[in-house]
């Protein structure tokens, strides 16, 4: 006659079996990390040693993980739960402007770091952002004599917003090597050089790297390393 197993016997057998930990939503993911490669948008080179933060629920939400880009610009941050939206923040430093990542869903299209959180997009766990482009956080260059290439010291260089050219948003004075570097935040800037104290012209950086007397004959300045600006002696 077939015998039934009593409740006591079942309990005894269960006690001998290994106890499995509860599996949370994030644990259920094989590769939950959100990853990408931070790249300078102006040069295409990798940006190392830059902090990346992962916010849960909103751009202002709790930071659930922090990482730094490696020597090749790569990073990976780990979400807390599987079913929450996440925002990836690149922290501004001396190299890049930082902001929140806008993920481009189309394959082969680079993601971007937007200055404002409203320009960023939420991403899901296991997202590969691919190349994440970020603009430099500075404009730097060198003022030189247009006639002979000599480096010019003491040239006052200012950045102006294209929509408000009378307003100075950053300034520096060239050093003994003619070098200047101005921190910036944004995209559209005019670069004005004042060489009066050194006997050189004053005006706007032109499209070809010289100096023009009027803004109408100039171009907005690139950001990042812009190279030499050639100035005429008066």
Question: 52 and 36, same structural domain?
Answer: yes
Q: Are residues 128 and 148 in the same domain?
A: no
Question: Residue 156 has what pLDDT?
Answer: 98
Same domain, 121 and 205: no
Question: What's the domain count of the chain?
Answer: 2
The answer to whether the Cα torsion of 231, 166, 159, 221 is positive or negative is negative
Q: Give me the pLDDT at residue 73, please.
A: 98
| pLDDT for res 29 | 55
Q: What is the pTM of this model?
A: 0.81
Query: What pLDDT is recorded for position 194?
Result: 98
The pLDDT value recorded for residue 105 is 75
**Domain assignment of residue 14, yes or no:** no
The domain in which residue 182 lies consists of 138-231
CA nearest neighbour of 95 among 39, 169, 37, 178 = 39
Report if residue 178 sits inside a domain.
yes
Do 71 and 32 reside in the same domain of the chain?
yes
Domain boundary among 134, 156, 174: 134
Show which of 88, 112, 134 is a domain's final residue: 134
Domain with residue 150: its CATH number is 2.60.40.10
pLDDT value of residue 8: 38
Strand pairing category for 189-194 and 156-161: antiparallel
- Regarding whether 175 and 226 lie in a shared domain, the answer is yes
Provide the residue-wise pLDDT of the chain in tens; the chain has 234 residues: 333 333 433 343 334 333 333 334 444 456 799 999 999 999 999 999 999 999 999 999 999 999 999 999 999 999 988 888 999 999 999 999 999 999 987 778 999 999 889 999 999 999 999 999 999 999 999 999 999 999 999 999 999 999 899 999 999 999 999 999 999 998 889 999 999 999 999 999 999 999 999 999 999 999 999 999 999 999
Domain shared by 200 and 167, yes or no: yes
Are 144 and 125 within one domain? no
Are residues 42 and 129 both part of a single domain?
yes
Question: Residue 69's domain is classified under what CATH number?
Answer: 2.60.40.1120
- Which residue from 62, 31, 38 is spatially nearest to 125, judged by alpha carbons? 31
- pLDDT score at 3: 32
Among the candidates 117, 134, 151, a domain finishes at 134
Which pLDDT score is estimated for 18? Answer: 39
DSSP string, the chain: -PPPPPHHHHHHHHHHSPPPPP--TTTT-SS--EEEEEEETTT--B--S-EEEEEESSTTSEEEEEEE--TTSEEEE--S-TTS-EEEEEPP-SSB--EEEE---STTPPEEEESSGGG---B-TT-EEEEEEE-BSEEEEEEEETTT--B-SS-EEEEEETTEEEEEEEEEE--TTSEEEEE--SS-EEEEEE-GGGTB-EEEEPTTSSEESSGGG--PBPSEEEEEEEE-B-
């Amino acid at each position: 006659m077939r015998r039934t197993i009593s409740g006591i016997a079942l309990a005894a057998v269960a006690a001998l079996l290994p106890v499995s930990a509860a599996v949370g939503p994030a644990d259920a993911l094989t590769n939950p990390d959100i990853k990408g490669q931070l790249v300078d948008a102006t040069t295409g080179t990798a940006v190392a040693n830059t902090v990346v933060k992962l916010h849960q629920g909103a751009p202002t939400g709790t930071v659930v993980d922090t990482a730094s880009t490696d020597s090749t610009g790569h990073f990976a941050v780990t979400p807390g739960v599987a079913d929450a939206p996440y925002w990836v923040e690149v922290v501004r430093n001396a190299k890049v402007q930082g902001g929140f990542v806008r993920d481009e869903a189309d394959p082969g299209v680079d993601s971007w770091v937007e200055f404002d959180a409203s320009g960023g997009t939420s991403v899901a766990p296991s997202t590969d952002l691919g190349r994440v482009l970020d603009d430099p956080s500075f404009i730097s260059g060198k003022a030189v004599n247009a006639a002979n290439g000599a480096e010019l010291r003491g040239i006052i260089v200012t950045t102006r917003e294209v929509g408000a050219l009378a307003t100075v948003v950053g300034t520096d004075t060239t050093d003994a090597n003619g070098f200047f570097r101005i921190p910036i935040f944004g995209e559209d800037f005019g670069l004005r050089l004042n060489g009066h104290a050194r006997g050189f012209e004053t005006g706007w950086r032109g499209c070809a790297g010289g100096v023009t007397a009027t803004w109408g004959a100039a171009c907005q300045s690139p950001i990042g390393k812009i190279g030499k600006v050639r100035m005429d002696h008066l």
